[in-house]
Amino acid sequence: MFPSEELGLVDVAEVDDGRVVPPASRVAIEASVGRLLEVAVAVDAGHDINGELGGFSALHLALLAGHADVIRFLLGRGVDVNRADWMGDSPLAGAALSNKLDDNKLDDAASSDIARACWRGVYGGMIPGRS
């Protein structure tokens, strides 16, 4: 008996659904773990600031992990705040849905800066409720 059979595991066949899985982005990898210096080096070396890892952009990953310094860097370098993840959510929506904007890792100023920048990206410079 094979070990997989003992564990009740089944074989899974690979199916070509026609979707292309892009290679993991160096910027997204480093942003996901909060390595600001490595993010900056990768961006300066020409790596795509909007690159993805597992269907999430560098900004999505930094927001979800609460890396305020990386988030500010990405926003300062012009990251696309409207880039949807694999589920169709913007970085701000993803962070709000996961309650990460209220996370203890992000101070109030960082949360406000992030939300303001993302709102401006979504609403073309207009922040709802303000003129």
Domains assigned to the chain: 20-123 (1.25.40.20)
pLDDT at 120: 54
- Whether the per-residue pLDDT at 126 is higher than 50: the answer is no
The confidence score (pLDDT) of residue 124 equals 47
Over 60: is that where the pLDDT of 123 sits? Answer: no
Q: What is the 3-state secondary structure (H, E, C) of 82-120?
A: CCCCCCCCCHHHHHHHCCHHHCCCCCHHHHHHHHHHHHH
pLDDT at 99: 62
- Amino acid found at 94: G
- CA 17 – CA 7 distance, rounded (Å): 28
CA–CA separation, 110 vs 81, rounded Å? 15
pLDDT value of residue 87 = 83
pLDDT tens figures, 46-82: 999 999 998 899 999 998 888 888 988 998 899 988 8
Q: Which whole number is the average pLDDT over 78-90?
A: 85
Supply the pLDDT for residue 1.
47
**53 vs 23: CA distance, rounded Å:** 8
What pLDDT score does 110 carry? 55
Whether 58 and 80 have beta carbons less than 8 Å apart is answered as no
User: 105 — phi, psi (to 5°)?
Assistant: -70, -25
In this prediction, residue 122 carries a pLDDT of: 46
Q: What local confidence, expressed as pLDDT, does residue 8 receive?
A: 60
Task: Provide the 3-class DSSP secondary structure of residue 69.
Answer: helix
